[in-house]
Structure 1
Amino acid sequence: MNSVLRGLTWTTCLVYLDDIVIYTKGGIEQHVIELACVLECLAAAGLTLKLKKCVFATERMEYLGHELSSEGVRPLERLISAVRDFPQPQDAVEVKRFVHLAGYYRRFIEGFGSIMAPMTKLLRKDVPWEWTVAQQTAFEQVKAVLITKPLLIYPNFALPFRLVTDA
């Protein structure tokens, strides 16, 4: 799909496997033009779409566990509730499940790796199981951040901005 839409990805559309999201910075007229470009590329490659799976000209949509809108990107409410309702882990297997579940939304939690360090420590083979205040604090802090439905806004390339990574 990336080769079919080469030149349009990251400027007009995003592609993940067979999912295509077409986004427009202008109005509906510009959106129709960009939609036509994508459809022409797909038709030229002999590809078709299933109309019942398509959504056109929407300001909000769900995509890969996220809500995309003109404001930015948020975690989906129904998936946040899985984190919110996760019971306190009783063993390393449950810790691992929580770390992976919450980790899907790590980009929304500043310092995720540092916050989760007390919990991920329990996943080491040489560390005996002991749920302490440090693990409980990390567990509650991650839940607290996610239930606020944090928003990642899109960068404005006309303005300076700071890139922060969690390595």
Structure 2
Amino acid sequence: MSLPKLEELQKQLKELLDAEFIRPSKSPIGAPVLFLKKHDGSLRICINYRALNKIIIKNRYPIPLIVDLFDQLGSARWFTKLDLRSRYHQSRIPEGDEPKTACVMCYGSYEFLVMPFELTNAPATFCTLMYNVLQPFLDRFVVVYLDYIVVYSKSHEEHVEHLREVFQTLPHCGRRQDSVDESKIRAIVDWELPTKVTELRYFLGLANYYWRFIEGYSKITKPLIDLLKKDFSKPYEVHTNALDYSIGGVLVQVEHLVAFNSRKLNETEQRYTV
């Protein structure tokens, strides 16, 4: 596995452990781990459960056809689509069955505490869960397809009430929010103290990307931004020096070196008188 993939594996492994979706395993079996490229070019861990899926008793719960769902939306004028995050990970693996989901990688063996995406029964199991939870609303103002929930209504007032009922049934759901990756926050917190203007400018450029997540960002960064400005309030001094073969100079302010400059004299210049 290449170095970039190893780094990505470490990152996603930590996320799964922190979320308590997996735990270290001592299972005698283990499925191999590989990467799949997503539509946006990013990589996602994929567990090859081919052998396990062959012996699993199949859940024959019927997944609805999209065409049939469209028929229910015919007279509606207001629609809201709800997309459940980490859909299959919201279902708990029955206690005692966790070792069956073990996967093996270069960083050890791990087993899932929640339902992995790659299990053959994952879609049907999740559909069963969604249908049980939203049963009172199905075919009235809600349709469910895998992890997508569509709320539909004929009027705005009716739609608001329908959404309220769905949200009260799904207490942990909420509006989609932008958030900052914890690794990005850690990179800024652990940033080495800038000692040059170029380093400070680079740091501010990185931090500025997240300005809308930081209350009072302009007030906090003002002292740093002021350091980028040239200070003309202090007097300048130019110190020069000449040797037989070179000349040089330094521009200074009080207790501060601004810039150095020097160059070698050519043969003609070396014959000049002082």
Compute the TM-score of the two structures, normalised by the length of structure 1: 0.36
Higher RCO (CA 8 Å, separation ≥ 6 residues): 1
Pair member with larger Rg: 2
Name the structure with the higher strand share: 2
